[in-house]
């Protein structure tokens, strides 16, 4: 009986998720096209579609703190393909992502349609050439979110933050908005099954998440910082420490 209930629950979630992804594929390209400029609150419309996707997977989001309302370079630890749905669903930001993310099932189709800046993480010179574009977006008043670890982790602690893209915020005198993200089971223990790391197969990761009774995701907005007061390496190290502290505080509660 339990097995039947589990299969029915997973099938229902998959149906809801598929419906919302279809809406994203149809609606998001329109609202982010030149024609979409006349649509009021187009980013909020897209955000509501992303929220419906993670809600279809029975992910409950708990938000602590408030982000700056000013344009900023956002920095966040990276755990899973789910991260982008959660962050894009609740914040009006562009993303910087490694080029292979564009080919990820589910999430790839989402971020290709929302002005994501793709970079080649394996080629430092090519990645560096993305700095002017990042700087231009910040100067235009668009907040941009980066994952400075450059890869994903289990989420129990941060990997070292790479400082390269902090330079764009320093050059434009923008704020840095640190954000921490972690996932838990309903009993409060860390949900490392959510992590999508290295050579993990998407189908296996997706099935694990689909079959979870419930996942609690925590987003914590830390105090924004002035980039001009720091060297990029110092800023990256400080953000890493602060986000680690936020993760440890959350997982120890």
Where in the chain are the domains? 2-251
Q: What's residue 21's pLDDT?
A: 76
Right CATH number for 2-251 from 3.40.50, 3.40.1130, 3.30.300, 1.10.8? 3.40.1130
- From 170, 151, 147, select the one nearest 72 (Cα to Cα): 170
CA-to-CA distance for 132 and 219, rounded, in angstroms?
Answer: 29
CB 82 within 8 A of CB 54: yes
What is residue 184's predicted lDDT score, i.e. its pLDDT?
Answer: 94
pTM above 0.75, yes or no: yes
Other beta carbons within 10 Å of 74: 25
Alpha carbon distance 105, 107 (integer Å) = 6
pLDDT (0 to 100) of residue 252: 46
Q: Return averaged pLDDT per consecutive 10 residues of the chain, 253 residues in all.
A: 71 79 74 65 80 90 96 96 91 86 71 76 75 91 94 91 92 95 93 88 87 93 89 93 90 52
Instruction: Give the per-residue pLDDT at 49.
Output: 85
Q: Yes or no: say if 82 and 50 are a contact pair by the CB < 8 Å rule.
A: no
- Element (H or E) spanning 239, and its range? helix 232-251
């Amino acid at each position: 009986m339990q097995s039947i209930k589990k299969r029915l629950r997973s099938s229902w979630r998959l149906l809801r998720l598929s419906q919302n992804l279809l809406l994203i594929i149809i609606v998001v390209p329109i609202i982010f096209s030149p024609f979409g400029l006349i649509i009021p609150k187009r980013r909020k419309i897209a955000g509501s579609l992303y929220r419906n996707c993670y809600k279809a997977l029975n992910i409950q989001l708990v938000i602590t703190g408030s982000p700056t309302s000013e344009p900023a370079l956002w920095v966040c630890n990276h755990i899973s393909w789910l991260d982008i749905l959660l962050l894009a669903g609740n914040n009006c930001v562009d993303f910087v992502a490694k080029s292979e993310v564009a080919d990820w099932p589910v999430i790839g189709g989402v971020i290709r349609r929302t002005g994501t800046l793709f970079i080649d993480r394996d080629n430092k010179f090519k990645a560096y050439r993305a700095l002017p574009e990042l700087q231009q977006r910040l100067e235009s008043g668009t907040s941009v979110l980066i994952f400075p670890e450059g890869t994903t982790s289990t989420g129990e602690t941060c990997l070292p933050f790479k400082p390269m893209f902090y330079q764009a915020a320093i050059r434009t005198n923008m704020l840095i908005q640190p954000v921490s993200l972690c996932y838990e089971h309903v009993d409060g223990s860390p949900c490392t099954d959510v992590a999508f790391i290295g050579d993990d197969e998407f189908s296996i990761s997706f099935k694990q998440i689909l079959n979870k009774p419930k996942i609690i995701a925590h987003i914590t907005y830390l105090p924004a910082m002035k980039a001009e007061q720091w060297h990029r390496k110092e800023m990256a190290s400080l953000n890493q420490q602060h986000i680690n502290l936020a993760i440890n505080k959350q997982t120890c509660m």
